Amino acid sequence: TLYTYPENPRAYKALIAAQYSGVELKVAEDFVFGETNKTEGFLKKFPLGK
């Protein structure tokens, strides 16, 4: 799963690379930058919040 905000050019690069290599990559539709990445569950998985 890719956690990103809409129109992120760096995320587009990852999505294009995944498509070329045949990898299925899901984009988290409910991700809100500055909110979702500060939740306890997100920080457990990604301690730096990134």
The answer to whether position 50 is within a domain reads no
Q: What is the pLDDT of residue 19?
A: 94
What does the alpha-carbon distance between residue 34 and residue 40 come to, in Å, rounded to a whole number?
A: 13
What does the alpha-carbon distance between residue 40 and residue 10 come to, in Å, rounded to a whole number?
A: 25
Question: What does the pLDDT look like over 8-49, one tens digit per residue?
Answer: 999 999 999 999 999 999 998 887 777 777 888 888 888 887
Q: What is the pLDDT of residue 11?
A: 93
> Residue 32 belongs to what domain range?
9-45
Number of domains in the chain: 1
Closest C-alpha to 15, from 41, 34, 24 = 24
